[in-house]
Each structure stands twice: as C-alpha cells, then as structure tokens.
Structure 1
C-alpha cells in the first residue's frame, strides 16, 4: 500500500482537483490510517474498523474525482457504483452484494496485471523463441538433437558436431526481429478460440451470481480449441507474450492475493446515496424500497462475508465513501444504523468564477490542455488569453446560477460550444495559429447567452 503522508496525498490531489481542501484532508487521513493499520500488531489490527466517509455537495464539485484519484494514488481496488441501481431483495434490480463481486473482479484484474509485469522479461524471451520457430521452423533432426551432439565412436564418447546450418539463420532472423524489420510480415499461428455455440446468460436481476456460475459451467462444457490464424509478426508477438505469461502465473495465487487486497485495501464509492434516503415528511411509495436498500446495505458496510466465484470475501475492512447532493434528503434521513457506519462527513462547496478559472488553467489534465492537444493533431495551434479564460469562467458561473448548478461540468459544454466551429474547420487550417481571446469567446456564445431559454438546452 502507498505510504504517502497526508500532506503528500493532498498535494497530489491538488494537481487534479481545485479547492475542497477540507474534503481532501479528510480522505488523506483516512488513507493514511489504512497504512498505519497495516503496521500494527495483527491481533489489534483486526479490531480497527475503517472510518467510512460521506461527501456532500452539488454535482460537478469533485466528489467522484477525489475518490478516483485517491484510489490511483494508493494503487488499491476501487469501484464506483450508484446506489440507485440497487433495490430491496425481492424487487427487480441488482442486489447490494453484487458491488463486492464487481470490486473483486477489479482486484483480480489488477493483481493479474502486476504479476504479468513481474514475469514479462521471461515471457518475452519465451515468446521470441516461439516466434522464431514460426518464422524458421526447426528440422526434425534438429528438434530431436537440439544440443548438436552425436555418438560418433564405438567407445561411446560424445563428439561435437558442427552447429546446425539453421543456427546462423535463426540468429539473423532474431536480429531482424529485434530491429523491427519483420513487424509487418505475416505468420500463421494457432490461437485459442471458444468452440461450439456462444452462450450468453441473461442474469435475472438480483441473481447475478447464478448467471455468472451458469456462464462458467457452459464455458467448461465447451472448452477452447486451437485454430490457425494469420496475423502480423508484431501482433503475434503480443499474443505469444500473453500466452507465455499465463503459463508462468499461478491463477490460484493471483485470486488469493486479490482477495486479500480487496479485503484490506478495497475502496467502494457509493454515489447518489441521498437518493435512497427516506425523507421524514414522505410516507409510503418508493420510500419503502429505499429503506429496504439501506437495510440490505447495512450488513455489507458493517462487515459480512460475500460469496464470489473467487471465494468468500470479508467486507469488514473495505473503505466505503458515500456521496450525494443531499439537496432534499439529509444524512440524518438515513436509518440510524447506517448513519453510525459513516462517522465522517464533509460538505463540498459550490464552485465560483475563481475556481472555474483555476480549473481551466492549473490541473495537468485541464480542458484547455486537452483541446489544445486535440487540435494539434490537425496541425492547428491554439493559444488562450487570460481574458478569454476569465470570460469562460464568468459565463460558467452565470449559467449555473440561472439554470441548474452542474458545477465544473458546465465548462465541458461551454468549451465545446466555443471550439465547435474551429474543430470542424481544423483540417482546412493546418499550420495556422488561432488566438482564443475574449471577443472570440463572446462571438461564439452571444446567441445562447442572450437567449436564456436557448441556453437551458445548449449550455
């Protein structure tokens, strides 16, 4: 697990997320506590439960991005799910245990990728030999006597024979392959394909595990067969690397390591938590099902055992981060038992002109950087003036106030509207440098800004 300090975690989050300092500090402490827990004596370690978090705030202020970036920093299994996808057991919809199964799939994929990297050098070496066999098949005599020796005397002494004539050719081919001279040559090799009919199991809502088991059963009934297929040397090499890596990796060890990582380091981000909160002034109707989802979610958050195709997964130490706008419902509208399992709460503030300007200029992946890179592929260079970016930020704040407040996502629609014409004409402007100034921004937005009804649809 990453051993970044809370200050270092916040510093990394600052590179991608503007503002929301209190929320960043909270999640940084929660992540550091996970590392601290791993350093404690095992007997006490199991007694330390994660401090789950509720992030409150309007859409587009950075709730999801904070959790996603946090998971990447920690290199731990992370899965985002919407609470509205789940229904109480007995209703049509997904059961809450499926989120643990999905998290386990991500954990297995993550560990498999890491183990593949560990054996990659050996896999590449083996793949190269197999590829050379395809390009230059060995003779039968060579295959039966690979060392190049024969029994030449009646006394049984081993005499060395001259190297097989294809050795020098093989080395020439090896050098040509490493120099990339054979990348486009076609070879025919056997690949594994699924035999028989392709059976797709449509799982009954709430019974995804049964559907997965049936899918696996049919896969075992129709094992894969090897069939010849033509492909370039470059593509064949990648296929052979994957095959050789799979031979070197123990799938049982991967599954066990993934299960341990999910149990000890997994993060589940449950979005739209406010949608399953029952408002105190509401009675009956959909609120009955909402409370049922909360009660189904409670044992997962408290700590239970969920059956997956990779084995039993304990949820006691998975970190849950819940998020929601909480415009109408409040965290206090959740059932008391569930409130107690989310002791940390932080409200994220709305974004204003200053934050929008920072979002356009400071992050590594800022929208301005993205559009600049996209248009450079057409040979067009665009430069933004400070006044232009301030005008975009001001418009984003104004439109959020007059229509729906969708936070930083408003910048996506505005930037697309401003650069739509230029993006369309870019292939005809190769080699040109376009300056995006305040007048350019105003000209592109004049119609929708003046017509409030139109802006509701376009921006």
Structure 2
C-alpha cells in the first residue's frame, strides 16, 4: 500500500511539473492582447494574487490555480480510500461511496466575481514617483485654495496646509540624506458642523488623491460583530479603483474618533473602544496589511492584496463632547481665593475653549497615550459665530445661496437676499446648535413655497427674501417683469443725465 501511495505522489509531482512547463505556452496563446499584463491574476481556490504565490497554473474554463493548492489537491486524492481508476467507468459511480451527481449549471452563480488589481511596479519603476517635489503646491497656495471653499478656520487651514505639504514631500523623496522623515498624521478637534469633514474633502479634491472617509463608530476588534480595522484601508483601495500604488498615496479620514475612547467604569471587554485604538496603532505608524478587494471583511470568496500604509496620511476628527469640561477643570485649578482670583465661570461662555486643549486633556478623555503619540499634529477648529454663518451662506464657491440663485436663473427669475434676512437665518442656525448643517435645513424650509409657486407664473421677474419672511411675520417681495424693465429704463436715464452734467 505504501508503494502505491509513493508511486501516486511521484506521478502527481511529475504531472505538476509538466503542467507548470506547459503553462508558459498557454499564456502566449491565450493572452493575445496586452491588457492582462497590467492586472494581477488570482488563484481560484485560495484567492491569493500571483505576486504572492508565483506563476498560476491554467486549466480549462479559464480557471487558474496556484502550485500549492494544486499540490494539496493531489495529496488529498492520494490519501483517500476512493479508487480513481473506477471513475473511468461511469457505470460504477453508483457503487462508489459518498458520490452523487452534481449539476454544474447550479455552480455558475457560486463562482466569485473577478476583481482586477493592478500589478505593483518593480523597484526600478518605483523610482519615478507620481509625486514630484516641484509639482506639490506650497502651503500658502493650498491655503488660498481652501479659502475659496471654507469660511474662517484660518489656523486649522494653515496647520493642514503645512502638514500635507511636508507629508507629500516625504512621499516624493522617501529619504533625505539618510534621515527618515516621520508621518504627519493629524487629529482635528472641533464642535459638530464646524467643517472638519468638508476641509478634508476639499483638501483631497485639490490634491487629486484618493480619499476614504469612515466612521470610527462602526469599527470593532477583529472577531466581533462590526467592521474590522483593516476595512478603512479597503475603502481607500476602492476609492483608488483597486490601484494599490495609488491607494498607498491617499488620505484616510476617520470621523467620530472620540467614540472609541476608553469606556470608564466598565467590567466588560472594551471591543469598540480601547481595543480599536490599539488595533489602529500599526495602521497609523505604517505597516503592510492584507485587505480584501471589493469587500469590508475577509472570506474565502474575496481576493486579498497587500497595502503598505507607510505613505498613507491619516486624519482623525471628532467633536469630543464634554472635553471642554475637562479643560475647564484643569484651568480652574489655577484659580485661587481672594482678590484678583479667577472666577469659576470665567470660561463658561468661551466659544473657542477647545484651542486651550493639551494632550493630557485628550488622554483624560479616554484616548490611550500610544494612539496620541502617532498623531503628532493636534489642532482645534473655531466655533461658528453669527458673522461666520452669514459668510458661509454667500462667500464660498458653492455657497447655498449661489445654488438657489442658479436654480431660479434657469427660470429667468432673480433671487435676492436682504442682509437682515441672512442674519435672521444665522441666528436660527445658532439656536439649533448643529453647526453649518442647520443652514441647509432652514433654507429648504422657507424656499419650498417659492420653488413651488414661481414656475406657475411666467410674469415673475424677481423674488426678494426679507427678514419678516424668515421670521414668519410676512412674505417675500415679488417683482413682475414689467416693473423690472421700468427700473432698468429709469436707471439708464439717470446714468445718461449724470454723464451729461459731467
């Protein structure tokens, strides 16, 4: 019996070597176009890429199997009690144990969808990087572009511009006189609706790099219900169209980072708090991890690829509620009794109290020191004031008022907002305490009737939004097209008379 097994093992190895030798000829015949050279192939069984397992063996029906899986298949066949010589005679199948007829058409829908991943470039090709030092915009240019879209937050924009500039210089050069430059990951702290996510979106758009935005609330320790920590890199890979090299130069923004703070006074395992922070340490610092392609979780039907997070810029953001209380407690310890002592309520109405935050305050909030050590750049965003709300309404390139004006211009109707009306909208938004997001909800509320009624009458030429209409004590001013023509004629006459006098 042992001689029979040895003969089968030797024959299986010889068959495997013959198949590998014949594979190169099959590659030349089947790969008539050069498109497949750009993408990697995957093993049909273990779903590992060709870059990891070596050359794949092609069998009929365009199925590719790695040498390891093929060898395991032969070994399994050799160590079974089934006599494969009997399988040649189909009449003996009924006598074979545990064999039943299989409808192959039922298996077509079970075949995993092919995922295309571009091959990693060789070391010689990697020397020519996509990022050139001269092509990276200077910090003042990055801030100037951010100013066109984001109102206020000058300090935050300056910090982000310098950090991003230094990061992509590091990516372009990698080494500078044998001095390794560390990553400049960032931690943004600011109240809800102050523009944290919008800043990162605008930054990625200006730099033309892939961006992945995820919430830390959905992350859990590996093995528990929820998304694994590596899923944030999977989203970045999907945003880069499964191009690994492009993804390795992208930006990952993890929002709601304050939700993974250590849970206090709990006896249960903290699988969504401190454990997530510890699991993210290797991502933030830079390491090679295997991530699924086209899915958030690893399973046998999804191919895996390796992504190096060394050059990925991580930006974490959170509102950190009750952090201001920790800051107040620290600052009030400096107060004393007697004359010229600080009052206990001195910082109660300080809108920008978060600017006084320290790493020690964030540590007391529940973030572990190892996690904060990998986020060297910590900065806070300003709380929104009434004037900032008004600027958000009308100054950015894609301001809300400009959007509605464009919509009514398509109906040949002018839309005008009085200054008092804008301040009334800003005060309403401040009462909601949800940041700039409240502006859209307020404007949608009072613009509903206007957008519904205007298309009914073609004689309407202008709509003026007043303060009374915002406060629901009056209505908007409607001007007909004939009145607009009279106003234009009168203004032209006045201008001509003024020129004649001069």
Task: Check whether TM > 0.5.
Answer: yes
> Is 2:401 aligned against 1:368?
yes
> Is 2:446 aligned against 1:418?
yes
> Is 2:472 aligned against 1:439?
no
Match of 2:317 among 311, 323, 328: 323
Question: 1:12-411 to 2 correspondence within 5 Å?
Answer: 12-40=145-173, 42=175, 47-108=180-241, 258-263=243-248, 265-279=249-263, 281-285=264-268, 287-308=270-291, 309=293, 311-328=305-322, 331-332=362-363, 333-397=366-430, 399-400=431-432, 405-411=433-439
Q: Are the equivalent residues in 1 in contact too, given 2:216–2:259 (CA < 8 A)?
A: yes
TM-score of the superposed pair, with normalisation by structure 1: 0.59
Q: Are the equivalent residues in 2 in contact too, given 1:356–1:393 (CA < 8 A)?
A: yes
In the TM superposition, what is the alpha-carbon distance from 1:377 to its structure 2 partner? Answer: 3.2
Q: Deviations over 1:59-109 (max 9, x none)?
A: 11010011111101111111100001111112111101111121112112x
Higher alpha-carbon Rg: 2
What is the CA–CA distance in structure 2 between the aligned matches of 1:445 and 1:334, rounded to whole Å?
51
Q: Deviations over 1:431-457 (max 9, x none)?
A: 4211112222222799xxxxxxxxxxx
Q: Deviations over 1:251-276 (max 9, x none)?
A: xxxx6xx322322x211000000001
Q: Are the equivalent residues in 2 in contact too, given 1:380–1:429 (CA < 8 A)?
A: no
Q: Are the equivalent residues in 2 in contact too, given 1:77–1:262 (CA < 8 A)?
A: yes
In the TM superposition, what is the alpha-carbon distance from 1:410 to its structure 2 partner? Answer: 1.2
What is the CA–CA distance in structure 2 between the aligned matches of 1:444 and 1:10, rounded to whole Å?
42
Q: Are the equivalent residues in 1 in contact too, given 2:244–2:307 (CA < 8 A)?
A: yes
What is the CA–CA distance in structure 2 between the aligned matches of 1:382 and 1:435, rounded to whole Å?
6
Q: Are the equivalent residues in 2 in contact too, given 1:269–1:321 (CA < 8 A)?
A: yes
Counterparts in 2 of 1:49 and 1:373: CA distance versus 1, 3 Å: same
Q: Are the equivalent residues in 1 in contact too, given 2:284–2:314 (CA < 8 A)?
A: yes
TM-score of the superposed pair, with normalisation by structure 2: 0.55
Looking at secondary structure, tell me which structure has more helix per residue: 1
Q: Secondary structure at the match of 2:472?
A: helix
What is the CA–CA distance in structure 1 between the aligned matches of 2:423 and 2:272, rounded to whole Å?
46
RMSD between aligned residues = 2.3
Gaps of 5+ in 1: 109-254, 447-459
In the TM superposition, what is the alpha-carbon distance from 1:317 to its structure 2 partner? Answer: 1.8
Q: Secondary structure at the match of 2:240?
A: helix
Query: Which residue number in structure 1 is paired with residue 41 of structure 2?
Result: none
In the TM superposition, what is the alpha-carbon distance from 1:307 to its structure 2 partner? Answer: 1.9
What is the CA–CA distance in structure 2 between the aligned matches of 1:286 and 1:417, rounded to whole Å?
45
In the TM superposition, what is the alpha-carbon distance from 1:38 to its structure 2 partner? Answer: 4.3
What is the CA–CA distance in structure 2 between the aligned matches of 1:90 and 1:445, rounded to whole Å?
59
What is the CA–CA distance in structure 2 between the aligned matches of 1:311 and 1:45, rounded to whole Å?
30
Gaps of 5+ in 2: 1-130, 294-303, 324-360, 476-502
